[in-house]
């Protein structure tokens, strides 16, 4: 539906629990449509799920993405290999806010074995609720591609 924010989520086995908690959390948020791209399996390769979410954004089926692996590191490295993806690994409120305000990150990455669930849900909300400041930050983003 027009005006809805489409968010694609992906995780490996190290992030699946947190990813599922985020799916439930976002389900209670109005104006959001979620695509859960997995995993549901016990042992998978995190690049495959970074690929699914990055592709969903780049082909226009999602506006934003959330990726979770054990540390958030591997999945963010892979997602950032795509031109047009700005994947940010965050651990606290300040980085969650700044990565939208200054970097306009279109993918939020979290470590399922690093960040407690309650904090992670807060970071997701901060990232979604923070507007991009544009201006000089857009000029800097333009140099990333």
Interface residue list for ligand RB5 (CB under 6 A): 12, 14, 46, 69-71, 73-74
CA dist 71 and 67 (Å) reads: 11
Catalytic residue list contains 102: yes
Closest distance to ligand RB5 from the beta carbon of 87 (Å): 13
Among residues 13, 25, 102, 137, the one annotated as catalytic is: 102
Would residue 13 show up in a list of annotated catalytic residues for this protein? no
Min dist. Cβ of residue 3 to ligand RB5 (A): 34
Contacts of 109 (CB under 8 A, 6+ apart): 66, 67, 68, 69, 72, 75, 76, 79, 87, 88, 89, 90
Half-sphere exposure of 96 (CA within 13 A, CB side): 19
**CB nearer to ligand RB5: pick between 10 and 70:** 70
Q: Which residues are known to be catalytic? A: 69, 102
């Amino acid at each position: 539906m027009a005006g809805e924010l489409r968010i694609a989520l992906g995780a490996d086995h190290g992030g699946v629990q947190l990813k599922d908690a985020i799916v439930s959390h976002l389900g209670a948020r109005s104006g959001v449509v979620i695509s859960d791209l997995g995993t549901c399996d016990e042992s998978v390769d995190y690049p495959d799920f970074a690929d699914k979410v990055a592709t969903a954004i780049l082909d226009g089926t999602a506006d934003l993405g959330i990726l979770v692996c054990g540390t958030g590191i591997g999945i963010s490295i892979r997602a950032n290999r795509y031109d047009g993806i700005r994947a940010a690994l965050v651990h606290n409120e300040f980085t969650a806010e700044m990565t939208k305000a200054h970097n306009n990150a279109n993918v939020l990455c979290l470590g399922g074995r690093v960040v407690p669930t309650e904090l992670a849900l807060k970071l997701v909300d901060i990232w979604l609720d923070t507007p991009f400041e544009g201006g000089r930050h857009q000029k800097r983003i333009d140099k990333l591609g």
